[in-house]
Each structure stands twice: as C-alpha cells, then as structure tokens.
Amino acid sequence: MIGFIGTYECKADAKGRVMIPVTLKNQLAPLINQGFVIKRSVFHPCLELYPMEEWQKLMQKMNKKNRFKKKNNDFIRRFSAGVKPVEIDATGRLLIPKNLVSIAGIEKEVVLSSAINIIEIWDKDSYEKVIEETAEDFADLAEEVMGDDGDELS
C-alpha cells in the first residue's frame, strides 16, 4: 500500500509547473516510471494526483458500475471531467494542465498535501482556509470517523 507522508509548500510558475520538493520526490521515485493521473477533487477546490497504480484500482471499481443507470453514468462523466495523465520530468517538475490550474485557483503559492495514497494539490490560500474552517470541528470529526468502530489501531 502506498502511504505518502507530509505537507509541502512550493511555487507554480506561469506555465503551471511545480517543482516537487525533494522529500516528496523521494517518496514518488518508485512510481515515476508508471506515471500519474491528475484530476479535480470531488469535495474541494483542489486537485488530486494519483499514482497510475492507484488510478487503475479506482478505475476497476468504477468499471463495475452499471452505465445504464443514469446516476452512475452522470457520476462517471463528472468524476472523469478534466482527468489528464501527467509525468514528473527529470528535474522533478510536475506540469499541471492550464484548465486544472484554473479550476483549483492556483496562482503562485502551492501546497502539496499527502492524503494516504494520493497527493492533493492546493492553492495555498484555499488550503489554509479549508484547514482553518475544519479546525474547530476536527475533534468531533475524528471521533465520528475513527472512534468506536471496532477497529483497533496498532
């Protein structure tokens, strides 16, 4: 299982290129030859970077949906909107497609945040705003999501 660690601040240039910080690049190194998929997030104004292996697992799950049910077909279309394969170049840069830069509101300051098996890509101001908004409710959320479900943390 992939388990990325860390939150990193970096900059995007005018063409949408982001230099991946060395610590994160080292975590991504075993996956670089396979490539990545980038897409808009379902819940937030950010992007998600999937290692190809994780993307394929997700697509296998999606492929089981009955496309003759309108809600499934509508979901798949919306979920797939703007999805692009991307690579990290030899110098460690990720080129974010222009339309996705716009969707995420990325201007210059960028946050790359690990989210277990994917990397979220945020405009720094948007990221800080979401973190701030959820700070007060985080204890309740942690209890609801992680507490008392019979699973033991090891």
Which DSSP string corresponds to 34-80? Answer: G-EEEEE-SSSSSEEEEEHHHHHHHHHHHHTS-TTSHHHHHHHHHHH
Contact residues for 116 (Cβ-Cβ < 8 A; gap 6+)? 2, 3, 4
Cα gap 2→24, rounded to integer Å: 13
**Considering the domain boundaries, does residue 131 fall inside one?**
yes
**Residue 82, domain extent:** 7-146
Number of domains in the chain: 1
Say if CB 121 and CB 46 are below 8 A apart.
yes
Q: What is the pTM of this model?
A: 0.88
- From 21-35, 38-52, 122-136, the region with the lowest mean pLDDT: 122-136
Say which amino acid occupies 111: V
User: Rounded CA gap, 125 and 65, in Å?
Assistant: 36
> Which CATH number is 128's domain given?
3.40.1550.20
pLDDT band at 39 (very low <50, low <70, confident <90, very high): very high
> Would you say residue 129 lies in a domain?
yes
Instruction: Flag whether 87 is in a domain.
Output: yes
pLDDT tens per residue across span 44-102: 999 999 999 999 999 999 899 998 999 999 999 998 888 999 999 999 999 999 999 99
Per-residue pLDDT, 153 = 56
